Amino acid sequence: MPGLSNVLVDMVSFEEAVIPLKNNYLSLLPIGTLPPNPLELLRSDEFKALLGKLKEEFDVILLDCPPINLFTDARVVAAESDGVILLINSQTTSEEDVRKSKSLLDQVDANILGAVLNNKRYNQKQMASYNYY
């Protein structure tokens, strides 16, 4: 299935790679063929130009990236983005990992918009307090 990587190396046009979803309010651009050099593609002028085109065409653009502590790709994308939302898994992400992630984002001058904590487990007593909201 063609996607972002194929658009960046001019194998297909953006229009050929983007998938409009049924509700006509969302579109999806898959990753495409896994390139041998994904980091090089993300650092390319073509990627920056594509982001500019996307900003003209769409109201909101969400780019899903691998963990920032493990892959440089996420830092490159964060540096080119208007904002970053850090996803934190309460079951597997340590405080140290969160601090390291923030530090890595700060190093590329990323605009951290906030964080989402997911996979949080609550006991019955904690859940009962939500009845008042």
51 and 5, same structural domain? Answer: yes
pLDDT of residue 121: 80
**71 and 44, same structural domain?**
no
Answer for the pair 28, 19: CB distance below 8 angstroms, yes or no.
yes
Q: How confident is the model at residue 25 (pLDDT cuts 50, 70, 90)?
A: confident
The number of folded domains in the chain is: 2
Structure tokens at 77: 């994308």
Residue 107 has pLDDT above 90, yes or no: yes
What integer pLDDT is reported at residue 47 of this predicted model?
95
Domain-ending residue, one of 41, 62, 83: 62
Total H helices, total E strands in the chain: 7, 4
Name the pairing type of β-strands 84-89 and 19-20: unpaired
List, in order, residues 6 or more apart from 83 with CB less than 8 Å away.
Answer: 110, 111, 112, 113
User: What is the domain range of residue 27?
Assistant: 1-62
Is residue 35 within 8 A of residue 46, CB to CB? The reply is no
Are residues 76 and 45 part of one domain?
no
Q: How confident is the model at residue 132 (pLDDT cuts 50, 70, 90)?
A: low
Q: What is the mean pLDDT of residues 25-34?
A: 92
**pTM, to two decimals:** 0.81
